Chains A and B, each alone.
Chain A
Amino acid sequence: MSFTFRRPRKTNRSHAADRAGFNEAKPSPKGRVLLFLFGLPFFAAGLFFGWIGAIQPLAGVIESRSWPQVPCRIVTSEIETNRSSDGNTYRVAITFDYAFEGNTYIGGRYDFDDVSSSGYDGKSAIVARHPVGSETVCWVNPLDPAEAVLSRSIPGTVYFIIPFSGLFMLVGGGIMLGSAGLLPRRWSAKLQPKHQPLPEADQREVTLKPASGPVAKLVGTILFGAFWNGIVGVFVWQVVDSFRTGNPEWFLVFFLVPFVAVGIGFLGGVAYFALALANPRFRLTLSEGNPRLGSQVRLTWHTSGALHRLSNLAITLEGHETATYKVGTRSTTDKSLFFREPVFETDVPAAHRNGHLTFSIPPDQMHSFSAAHNKIEWSLHVTGPIRRWPDVNDRYPLTVRPLAPED
């Protein structure tokens, strides 16, 4: 059989290696193994705690349904306390004697829950219901009469441990199956964030929200700073203590210098953002929420606060490329500014507390684009320097759609 191309512009040799870039690269064997090992402890921990805390007790409860009931007498009744650095846990410790088929036994199990847990009050109530010397009933394992329990109820901890250990097994198992390529393709695709398509329909007037508000910046800095300084503070205290006892740890002193510097930076950041709370606030409204490339948009702004403190005010339309990648285990995001055009500028901000204007979105740039690691982001950037005070520096993201079809 022979076949001749009608228009042989070039010769094609096809190879599996010439796949287009949108085909998924197979993860390296080393990567797969590492991912599998990462998921294994989660799965193992979930399985272990699930077995000990849920499956074994449930199996005992089910099996005991056929056990005969016999009278018994409480011998000892108390709460056993396990002390640890994480806090105390408790266990009901009741012993009882009973007779079965002519023999006498001492039982030591209240129910099928052999795990110490927090929650003193519930266990105290159980002990109170079984005072020493009282008569009650117990259930005996006919195949092993030395095994008996006072209660065949499902232990309360089972209801907590099942979802908890189930979640660990699900996450760990999912990671392990994913590393082996055994997850259904649809699931793998859903777990990875994807490209967000842009809306087709026009949107009416919308008020833009800042990328991060002044309160969010302050709270974020406080939380990160507290976490950082909390940890560094432990070691700083160790250094101080070492000086007090006359045994200074000089290596630790020098080692801590950069960490303390960062901690001081956080404190400075808290002060900076706290002062910035007093800055003027801007409300920006666009006539079209998702403007298209090449379109004209009406911007309206309203300001509250002491605008006279700004030496000037500018609103700038900006476009950024944002690329996220891993360096080792650390994730890094780089940004590059590709478009900047002033929309409004004034040296007398106080005279423009409220205003409106029409500006154009350029027709020859890239529209907004959002994928898991790469983005094209447009924003209106409001800037206003304030002497001896944190400057106004807020970004208001907006979505820019492609050119209108007729364009």
Chain B
Amino acid sequence: MDTSLYIDLPKTAYAPGETVSGTLFWVLPEPPEEIRLTAGWWTEGRGTKDAQIEMTREWQTTSLAGEEKFSLTLPTHPYSFSGTLISLIWAIELSTRQGEHSVSERITLSPLDHPIQLAHIDEGGNKSISVLRRR
């Protein structure tokens, strides 16, 4: 049997504190025991990765296939952003108990409908928006 996990979201850009509502679908070759939905963020770019899981929801189930509606209220920060050295990325992940099956959807948490873009100003005063200086 095919293995499929799917997170159905109406949109991927959310305002700080907004509630994310959607539906989870799964088809698995073996009973999962538990389906887990996790929301969190991590950084990418020049610096060593920092990450944090902000919330987790779990459903106990032995069904090989099913669907489950969910809603999560996102925190007010940190915003998704993209800078010269650092980017911060939010995602929602659907996984089984041991994480042997998982799928994730990136979302944006921002007062705008896109990650905050940070410019690069050289200390001499010239400004540019560049993503070329990442490691």
Contact = CB atoms under 8 A, between A and B. Distances in A.
Interface of A: 1, 3, 5-16, 18-25, 194-195, 197-198, 319, 321-326, 334-340, 363-367, 369, 371-374, 376, 401-403, 405, 407
Contacts of B78: 195, 367, 369
A336 B5 contact: no
Given A195-B78, A323-B85, A366-B83, A20 B93 contact: yes
Nearest to B40: A22
Interface residues of B, number: 62
Nearest to A25: B49
Contact of B50 (A20, A337, A371, A402): A371
Interface of B: 2-6, 8, 16-17, 25, 27, 38, 40-53, 64-67, 76-79, 81, 83-86, 88-89, 91-93, 95, 99-104, 111-112, 116, 118-123, 125, 133, 135
A1 B42 contact: no
A336 B84 contact: yes
A363 B45 CA distance: 24
A369 to B, nearest CB: 5
B19 to A, nearest CB: 14
Which are the 6 A-B pairs with shortest beta-carbon distances?
A323-B47, A22-B40, A371-B50, A3-B65, A21-B42, A20-B104
Contact of B100 (A6, A10, A16, A21): A16
A14 B3 contact: yes
B101 A373 contact: no
A373 B52 CA distance: 13
Contacts of A364: 112, 116
A321 B2 CA distance: 44
A339 B119 contact: yes
B76 A405 contact: yes
Contact of B116 (A6, A326, A340, A365): A365
